[in-house]
Amino acid sequence: MSNPLQELANFGQSPWLDMISRRMLESGELARLIAEDGAKGVTSNPTLFDKAVSGSADYDPILRRALAEGVSEPHALFERIAIGDIRDAADALRPVYESSQGVDGYVSLEVSPTLAYDKDGTLAEAKRLWEAVGRKNLMIKIPATRPCLPAVEAALAQGLNVNVTLIFSLERYAAVMNSYLAALERRAKEGLPLAPIASVASFFVSRIDTAVDSLLPEGSPLKGRAAVANAKTAYHLFRKIFASPRFEALRQQGARVQRPLWASTGTKDPKYSDVLYVDGLIGPDTVNTIPPATWEAFRGHGQPAETLTAGVDEAKKLLESLKANGVDMGAVTAGLEDAGVKAFADSFESLLRNLAKKAEALRAAAHAPDAIPEAAQDRAAPAPAAHAPDAIPEAAQDRAAPADIVRRLWACDAGLWKTEEAHQRIIRNSLGWLRMPEAMPGRAAEIMAFVEEVRGAGFEHAVVLGMGGSSLAPEVLRRTFGRRHGYPTLHVLDSTDPDTVAAIEAAADPAKTLYIVASKSGTTTEPVAFQNYFLGKVRALKGDRAGEHFVAITDPGTFLEGFAREQRFRKTFINYADIGGRYSALSCFGMVPAALMGIDLQTFLARAGRMAEACKSVDETANPGLRLGLELAEQAAAGRDKITFLMSPEIESFGLWLEQLIAESIGKEGKGVVPITGEPIRLPEEYAADKVFVCIQTEGAADTRCSEVVRGLEAAGKPVFRIALVDALDLGAEFFRWEVATAVIGAMLGIDPFDQPDVQKAKDKTKTLLAELKQTGRLPSPEKHWEAEGLSLSFSQAAAGAAAGGTSSVEEPLARFLALAKKNDYIGLQVYLPSDGRHDEVLFEMRRALIRTRACSVQWGYGPRYLHSTGQLHKGGEDNGLFLVLCADGGTDLPIPDMACSFRQLVTAQAIGDFQALEAAGRRAVFIRVPADPAAALRRIADAVGQTVQVS
């Protein structure tokens, strides 16, 4: 799979990352970016350090040691942490430095911004920092203010590598290049080597557009174009200077060019492309230092091509047009330089204040009566009381080192889960979800611009056409947040039942509906069927403009991407290829539908981001995902492998997503953790000993019954985990917490949580059945072992004993089947009927009856949704389930254009195929046919189940 970041090298550009933090270094994230994305350098500044220090506890151990050594002055504390980070980053980049022969592999450290107009102070500090860091691949950042240009020349002449920063104007850039050449000439005159010297000139970009746009009238065609034009003109000047005889003489002595480095390349205005200042500035002998969100955006949909050398004359004309329209670029750039110096100085002062506050807090904590000794910081503290928010039952002490798990997880070390290469290949291409809280804010501008386009087009409905991982997060968000005024009503279609398809069509007029075709592979059967059906409906209304009603979300290079282009879909969102479906909630698959229904994307992703930062901590007590995963894995190892979720009503649908994440990730290799959601509440003494409970509630939740049950469970000594949310927007954080927890459970149980080997088995059975339908005109059906009252039952080989004896009453064969349940078994109720809620009440009663008479957990789901969710657990997990598969015998039908079957035939084949896959796996299963109008039959089955004898 191509990576646009790596492809930049083909055009002579080096991507450097505009970010540094202790967490990035310790987790292995920087090493991963170097290996996978071709990162060739790192830049830092006071603002980045301020965010890293004040926004986490990552530096607390370093600060504690410094304080213990008597270092307490804020500036000295800053240097203690900054120099350590710079050294470690330089060491990580040393192989890049050596393989490029000193062209790349640099880390930049800035002199104090308070010295921006003090050449002597700047030079002294530059030399001191150079010596303190002690790395050849260090660059000292010196501002390009006029007073500091002599310091730039002197530092270079004395052999320091220099990143000359805060360049805005062409005139100042010319002066910077002159300082570089003058420094080289001084060294040459003194007989000193030129080859080791490296320098970049940081030319700031996006801030130009922000300033110029504010001076232009609304709707001006010049808006959003000044920055790239300014940079292109600067690049033209660079090529001229470094092609001159003056430099050629230096080149002969080993001198390198001073490459332009495009800085401030994150898009500020959401109306513009989120990769505007990368796509438009690619050319030989350049560097682009890219902030993390833009880095992720360019990796996802950047367009590598040489763009700097094109349109230079047009760029110059645009700058002339700006002048004609009253924009004084000299005044703009002078103002930006002043503002830049002030902003960095303010950030540095803020950093020092925050360090002083943190130092005081750490000193106070060290003298508190219950202070934890520093040596114990890397070990978990005892869990808080079970009734406290986020409380987790006390853990056993002997288990894997939490810090090692965290480091290996964030380093994307596939060996954390499996040693076999086949598994590791899958795992290495499945960990992109770790980046989503950082990456998706960079795509928010693209998404929100699309949302505004959709609103402006007058769409009243948006329908997600998906299955499994591409539809469950949108379904959760739809049920949780409902409709917001002024935004389309969101619907989710993930059922091939024709009555459900018809219900969606009736609820959302195709003439006023946007259809979101969501498929990672681009060829998933169900989304393709939905797409074909509704595309036909819209074509009948809109003709060749039908594509305007469709948007695709898919991986790069899929059939769907090409089809969307051919059909002129309104938009195609290319997702990240290294994310599996069930881990894609925070990617485009979840966030595009979220934005379309009016969810506050910024807040939602910000909360996910805070959770992601917390989940990077090597301190178990401070890492919510790690702690939860370790505890649940420990509970499972102790035999408590059924996780019952108790939730506030407004977020209860979150269980649908949790079911898929946990069951499909962990249910394999004869092992598994069984998630149970939406189960009728029982008394504490009625729950089996194989259960652990997770209570997720929002603040002020009115579900007092749930709270009472939780208190009763805790009083009875049951293991209860409590998670408190501020409001529903905290689901952004919960998506990430549970992804981390699930990955940790997999690591603890020795399971690859990123494959789904048994899901394919049911798909293959379905394909075989449809092939036979095509050949013979009929679907083969399981052998009927009992038939009466409009019902028929077919038992798998493992449940053959239930077929014995003849009776006209359905109670007896069902009782014999349910009597096969053993201690610690669970029951799966799998329903291939309309999923629009029309049968929910009777199915809930059926589930209640099964719980009452069998005293075991009951998991239920609509097919084919559950095939892509809990279906993996059913076939690949432990053989501790009994499965009732319900399917309608005929009924309403709808054709599927360009497919060799109808929706009724497809859903029936999926139900039979799943039953056959369960039978092939040796599972105890019964296939139950109900009439086309199943209401009375479902009531009959619920009553029959209620009359069976309870298993002791």
Tokens representing 36 are: 């996978």
Closest Cα to residue 299, out of 204, 424, 436, 108? 436
Amino acid in position 261: L
The secondary structure of residue 385, as a DSSP letter, is P
Q: Degrees (nearest 5) of the Cα angle 301, 306, 309?
A: 140
The answer, yes or no, to whether the previous bond of 270 is cis (omega within 30 of 0) is no
State the residue for tokens 């992720």: 296
- As a whole number of angstroms, the distance between CA 84 and CA 230 comes to 36
Q: Tell me how far apart the alpha carbons of residues 178 and 176 are, in angstroms, rounded to a whole number.
A: 5
SS3 call for 492 = strand
Structure tokens at 407: 């480091």
- Residues 6 or more apart whose CB falls under 8 angstroms from that of 247 comprise 181, 241, 255, 257
CA atoms of 255 and 563, how far apart (whole Å): 51
Q: Which two tokens stand for residue 229?
A: 């034009």
Q: What angle do CA 515, 521, 522 make, to 5 degrees?
A: 40
Name residue 763's amino acid.
K
Cα 397 from Cα 378, distance rounded (Å): 13
Q: At what angle do helices 731-749 and 472-481 cross, to 10 degrees?
A: 140
β-sheet bridge partners, residue 881: 826
End-to-end C-alpha distance for the chain, whole angstroms: 56
Residues 511, 525 contacting (CB under 8 angstroms)? no
Beta strands in 594-741 (DSSP E): 642-647, 674-676, 691-698, 720-725
At residue 490, the 3 state secondary structure works out as strand
Q: Which residue in the list 119, 141, 358, 571 is annotated as catalytic? A: 141
Cβ–Cβ under 8 Å, residues 261 and 235: no
| Separation of alpha carbons 119 and 110, rounded Å | 14
Catalytic site includes residue 822: no
The amino acid occupying position 607 is: R
| Total Cβ atoms within 10 A of residue 768 | 14
The backbone torsions φ and ψ at residue 556, rounded to the nearest 5 degrees and listed phi first, read: -65, 140
Distance CA 332, CA 919 (A): 74
Quick check: helix, strand or coil at residue 142? strand
Q: At what angle do helices 329-366 and 206-213 cross, to 10 degrees?
A: 120
Q: Are 896 and 525 in contact (CB under 8 A)?
A: no
Tell me the CA distances in angstroms from 430 to 435, 471, 582, one per residue in order. 11, 18, 11
**Do residues 225 and 253 make contact, with C-beta atoms less than 8 angstroms apart?**
no
* CA angle at 299 for the pair 297 and 304, rounded to the nearest 5°: 105
Phi, psi at 681, each rounded to 5°: -70, 140
What are 406's two structure tokens?
A: 């965290």
Phi, psi of 643 (to 5 degrees): -100, 110
Q: How many CA atoms lie within 13 A of 57 on its CB side?
A: 16
Write the DSSP assignment of 503-571 as a string of letters.
HHHHHS-GGGEEEEEE-SSS--HHHHHHHHHHHHHHHHHHGGGGGGGEEEEE-TT-HHHHHHHHTT-SE
Q: Give the whole-angstrom CA distance, residue 407 versus residue 415.
A: 12
E strands in 575-664? 642-647
Catalytic residues: 141
